[in-house]
Amino acid sequence: MRKLSFWILGCIISLSVNAQNPKKTTAKSSAIPRPKLVVGIVVDQMRYDYLYRYYDQYVEGGFKRMMNEGFNCRNNHYGYALTVTAAGHSSIYTGSVPAINGIVGNEWYDRFSEKGVYCTEDSTVKTVGSTNVSVGKMSPKNLLTSTVTDQLRIATNFRSKTIGVAIKDRGSILPAGHTANAAYWFDSSTGNWVTSTFYMNDLPQWAKDYNAKKMPSEYLRKGWKLLLPADQYTQSTPDDVAWEGKLPGNAKPVFPYELAGLAGDAFGVVTNTPWGNTITKEMAIEAVKGENLGKGKETDFLAISFSTPDKIGHSVGPNSVEQQDDYLRLDREFAELFTFLDGWVGKGEYTVFLTADHGVVDVPGFAKEHKLPSGLVSRTNVLKALNKALEENYGKNDFVKATDNNQLYLNHALLKEKKITIAEMTEVVREALLPLPGIADVIDLTDMGKAPLNTYQLELYKNNVNAKRSGDIQIVTQPGWFYGGSTGTSHGTPYNYDTQVPFVIFGWGINKGETVRRTSVSDIAPTVSAMLHILPPSGNIGTAVEEALKK
């Protein structure tokens, strides 16, 4: 009995001591777990099939590492019609669509100022890091919603750092968001990485030091040679075909390439080769080290966009030896980046996602050779038929104020004066253009309920229309057709080759696996937001891919 009393007393004392002296692990576990760093990777013009087309030639540490260690959404699509670079980057990081975030294209016409607008233009800011005064007049002011990078900054009371890096200004500025610590892009006239006074008044010393290395000049001297023996490029057409464009200074689109700059654009040719990916990776790593990303108490965010695949793809297409070599080299760049992050942040301490801003259509020359439906729409013939129809029906007058994104911006004042409705004019334009090769339809963007489109495409075009920035009439091309020349290819349509892009996420907080259920590019931002336990962006319409996230 006495022993039992001592035992009870001991338990009471033990409970009392534990209550007054809680273990340190209790305080530690109260902090919400988050990765030290999030790295968002956008590959400009990465069609979904590139993940698998060159899979056997990828190294273990690049694309394969992401796919084999992470979660792969294999049926991931854009939810709007006009799939171009600025709209893509905006949709990825806002979880939104152009109808909401306002980035309806790379350019659009502003009815109120009556002039064209470039997606990131900002005349109120100045270039930082270059003598080129025009290259830095950029900011995210035209983006109408917040980004996941903004939301991270807000959630941590701006203690988190967010940095954007891309050759293209829009590929850096739009992902980095409104509250970014910095966004950097490439000035092809001087070979410098630059920014604008929207972010800072002087480049940080680490950026100056990297610019001082003059790496673009070094890569110019090296030229572009194949990574592997020529007979191993079995996923591509022959190296010399009629539908491929040529790099400046080269008589044919054939390896090896000599690289020579042009007057006023001395280093632009570098960005049209895999060296563009190299300098992007190098600048990104310098940003991580220079800004000490991933080393603080809060999660930091690095947004990288690799612009070079788009430049190469537009010139020579997705079935070229050049694009295969580009992706094999990009794969090695990723492996080097991840190896660096393993050492800098710690393996398993950071999260990476991979996606693309749009896909690409096969070059019409290639498609026709293999009896696939394809062709080129003649912009000259479209305008000729349009002008003829308008003049015959309404007389000679300036009914069209501007054309952009295959849209007609009509002169509303003139239509009101002439008592012509947009619906009436749409029918006139439709009747005139439908007989032309490659034209699928013409629709009234101001009254989408009456558009003669299938349900699927109607939704995509609705998601593209912003009342203040979109045109009145949309000209829709047939699958495989686009406006262009005899060489190279393009994108910007609602068809699968343009809408289906990768979404692979791996690292901290991510399950290993895959899904073939349809996901949306708008799901990326809310997925990252859920992982970070932060509010999704203000215009978000996506849903987190919950099976990718560890509980």
Q: Establish if 14 belongs to a structural domain.
A: no
Enclosing domain of residue 207: 37-359+494-548
**What percent of the residues of the chain are helix, what percent strand, and what percent coil, each to the nearest 5?**
40, 20, 45
Reduce the DSSP state of residue 346 to 3 states and report it. Answer: helix
- pLDDT-derived band at 249 (thresholds 50, 70, 90) equals confident
Q: Are residues 471 and 513 in the same domain?
A: no
Q: Establish if 135 belongs to a structural domain.
A: yes
Q: Which helix (H) or strand (E) holds 376?
A: strand 375-377
Q: Establish if 31 belongs to a structural domain.
A: no
User: Tell me, what's the pLDDT at 520?
Assistant: 98
User: Tell me, what's the pLDDT at 5?
Assistant: 44
User: Tell me, what's the pLDDT at 451?
Assistant: 86
Number of domains in the chain: 2
By the 8 A CB rule, do 376 and 484 touch? yes
Nearest CA among 99, 77, 103, 105 for reference residue 90:
103
Q: What is d(CA 160, CA 298) in angstroms, rounded to the nearest whole number?
A: 5
pLDDT top residue among 23 and 191? 191
Residue 27 has pLDDT above 80, yes or no: no
Integer Rg of the chain from CA: 26
Q: What is d(CA 4, CA 374) in angstroms, rounded to the nearest whole number?
A: 90
Residue 493 has pLDDT above 80, yes or no: yes
Residue 223 has pLDDT above 60, yes or no: yes
Q: Are residues 424 and 509 in the same domain?
A: no
Percent of the chain's residues with pLDDT above 90: 90
Candidate from 24-33, 290-299, 420-429 with smallest mean pLDDT: 24-33
Q: What is d(CA 103, CA 95) in angstroms, rounded to the nearest whole number?
A: 13
User: Tell me, what's the pLDDT at 25?
Assistant: 43
Mean pLDDT within 411-432: 96
Q: Are residues 448 and 308 in the same domain?
A: no
Q: Establish if 308 belongs to a structural domain.
A: yes
User: Tell me, what's the pLDDT at 262?
Assistant: 85
Catalytic option among 85, 94, 273, 280: 85
User: Residue 450 belongs to a domain with what CATH number?
Assistant: 3.30.1360.150
User: Tell me, what's the pLDDT at 177?
Assistant: 98
User: Tell me, what's the pLDDT at 3?
Assistant: 42
Q: Are residues 158 and 292 in the same domain?
A: yes
User: Tell me, what's the pLDDT at 31?
Assistant: 83
Tell me whether residue 85 is one of the annotated catalytic residues: yes
By the 8 A CB rule, do 246 and 255 touch? no
Residue 84 has pLDDT above 80, yes or no: yes
Q: Token pair 């009254």 is at which residue?
A: 447
* Domain boundary, last residue among 477, 502, 534: 477
> What's phi and psi for 400, nearest 5 deg?
-105, 115
Q: Are residues 384 and 302 in the same domain?
A: no
Q: Are residues 62 and 209 in the same domain?
A: yes
Torsion from C-alpha of 365, 367, 373, 377, nearest 10 degrees: -30
Q: Establish if 75 belongs to a structural domain.
A: yes
By the 8 A CB rule, do 304 and 286 touch? no
Q: Are residues 445 and 304 in the same domain?
A: no
pLDDT tens digits, 326-342: 999 999 999 999 999 99
Q: Which residues contact 114 (CB under 8 A, 6 or more apart)?
A: 401
Per the omega criterion (within 30 degrees of 0), is the bond before 256 cis? yes
Pairing assessment for the beta strands 481-483 and 473-477 based on DSSP bridges:
unpaired
Q: Which residues contact 482 (CB under 8 A, 6 or more apart)?
A: 361, 376, 377, 489, 490, 491, 492, 493
Distances from the Cα of 105 to the Cα of 168, 353, 466, angstroms: 15, 24, 11
Reduce the DSSP state of residue 231 to 3 states and report it. Answer: helix
Candidate from 9-18, 191-200, 288-297, 500-509 with smallest mean pLDDT: 9-18
pLDDT tens digits, 105-118: 999 999 999 999 99
Handedness of CA 234, 240, 246, 251 (dihedral sign): positive
User: Tell me, what's the pLDDT at 489?
Assistant: 96
By the 8 A CB rule, do 164 and 172 touch? yes
User: Tell me, what's the pLDDT at 7?
Assistant: 41
Q: Are residues 499 and 405 in the same domain?
A: no
Number of H helices, E strands in the chain: 20, 20
Mean pLDDT within 200-205: 98
Average pLDDT taken over every residue of the chain: 94
Q: What is d(CA 354, CA 359) in angstroms, rounded to the nearest whole number?
A: 14
User: Residue 535 belongs to a domain with what CATH number?
Assistant: 3.40.720.10
Residue 10 has pLDDT above 90, yes or no: no
pLDDT tens digits, 128-138: 999 999 999 99
Q: Are residues 306 and 176 in the same domain?
A: yes
Q: Establish if 62 belongs to a structural domain.
A: yes
- pLDDT-derived band at 9 (thresholds 50, 70, 90) equals very low
Q: Establish if 27 belongs to a structural domain.
A: no
pTM confidence score: 0.93
Q: Are residues 303 and 392 in the same domain?
A: no
Q: Which helix (H) or strand (E) holds 281?
A: helix 275-290
Q: Establish if 316 belongs to a structural domain.
A: yes
Reduce the DSSP state of residue 6 to 3 states and report it. Answer: helix
User: Tell me, what's the pLDDT at 261?
Assistant: 84
Residue 16 has pLDDT above 80, yes or no: no
Q: Are residues 449 and 534 in the same domain?
A: no
Mean pLDDT within 321-326: 98
- pLDDT-derived band at 23 (thresholds 50, 70, 90) equals very low
Q: For helices 321-341 and 275-290, what crossing angle results, to 10°?
A: 20
Q: Are residues 317 and 392 in the same domain?
A: no
pLDDT tens digits, 206-220: 999 999 999 999 999
Q: What is d(CA 160, CA 149) in angstroms, rounded to the nearest whole number?
A: 9
